[in-house]
Amino acid sequence: MTLPVPRRRRRLGRITVFVFFALASGSSLAQPSPALDRVSIWLGGYDAHADTRLDAGDRSGQYSGDFNLERDLGFSKRKGVSRARLDFLIGDSQGFSLDYYSVNRTRSKSLSRDISYAGNDYSAMATVRGKLNFDFGSAAYRWWFGRGNDVFGLGLGGAYYRVHAGISGEASVNGTPVGQASSSTSDGAWAPMLQLGWRHAFNEQWRMYVDAAGVKKNGGRLNGHVVNAALGVEWFPWQNVGLGAEYGYSRVVLHQRKHNYDANLDMKLDGPSLFVRFRF
């Protein structure tokens, strides 16, 4: 039986009104946790204590060599590292997290001891120049569990890291001076990433958090792992603008396969960070 047009319209109107109020009431109940923001922007710096080792040798074991940037080349043990993050929700308990930081260091120094790297020998008192650039960027999709003042997060995504390292100066090969010589390595790679997190809101102004992320890649020209961890607090004296302070730790262990030799980087960073925080 077909309903008359006016009756069909009245029924359709009642259904529309019912769906509207159901969605409105559902959206009013399904609010994100007070520990999360719809959009969260972090801009700041990392005052890191650095410990960095480079080594390179051929696969036959005929030559090898390593040096420490801080101990052997006089690099400062404190390094300011810029950092930026962006988090935003899609719905109330899922969203994306983006992170980027870069470590750029250069230093020239007269050596206090003999060092070797990639088949070149640099004698004590020789002036050498060392360089290390490391860039790290990541993107992850995150799920947040919990709707009270505490939420726990799981993130899956990918990270891109790039390293350029090298040394140059007066050198010799098998005891024979060759004048100026240099050895360097430069490469980048993508790798899968796992993130874990916890957020707690004390009130509208104060919150704290714990974050951990791991990146690991096997095989390829540039492989290894990167670990980042942080414990922090947030203070919002204004509704949308605040400050974040955290203590972080990063470990970067990378191995590169080159045509003539293999190169390795082992870098540790730890120290406090300060962020300007924007939330919407």
**pLDDT of 76 above 60:** yes
| Whole-number pLDDT of residue 163 | 95
**pLDDT of 123 above 80:** yes
Torsion sign over Cα 265, 102, 35, 139? negative
| Whole-number pLDDT of residue 184 | 86
Nearest CA-CA partner of 168 in 154, 153, 152, 180: 180
Segment 144-174, tens digit of pLDDT: 999 899 999 999 999 999 999 999 998 887 6
| Whole-number pLDDT of residue 26 | 39
Residue 124: phi and psi, rounded to 5, are: -60, 140
Q: Which residue has the higher pLDDT, 177 or 135?
A: 135
Q: How far apart are CA 154 and CA 217, in angstroms?
A: 20
Segments making up each domain of the chain, as ranges:
1-30, 36-279
| Whole-number pLDDT of residue 29 | 43
Torsion sign over Cα 115, 135, 139, 201? positive
Segment 91-118, tens digit of pLDDT: 999 999 999 999 999 999 999 999 988 8
pTM comes to 0.84
Nearest CA-CA partner of 48 in 230, 191, 213: 230
**pLDDT of 3 above 90:** no
Residue with tokens 């509208």: 204
Of 9-13, 111-115, 129-133, least confident by mean pLDDT is: 9-13
Nearest CA-CA partner of 247 in 220, 267, 228: 228
Cα 146 to Cα 30, 38, 253, distances in angstroms: 12, 16, 34
Beta strands in 58-175 (DSSP E): 64-68, 78-89, 94-110, 115-117, 120-122, 127-145, 150-173
**pLDDT of 9 above 90:** no
**pLDDT of 37 above 90:** yes
**Which amino acid type is present at position 247?**
Y
Please give the CATH number for the structural domain made up of 36-279.
2.40.128.90
| Whole-number pLDDT of residue 147 | 83
Residue with tokens 């992320």: 213
Segment 40-63, tens digit of pLDDT: 999 999 999 999 999 987 776 666
Q: How far apart are CA 169 and CA 110, in angstroms?
A: 10
Q: How far apart are CA 121 and CA 171, in angstroms?
A: 5
**pLDDT of 183 above 90:** no
49 and 269 in contact (C-beta within 8 Å)?
A: yes
| Whole-number pLDDT of residue 5 | 44
**Which amino acid type is present at position 213?**
A
Of 66-70, 227-231, 258-262, least confident by mean pLDDT is: 258-262
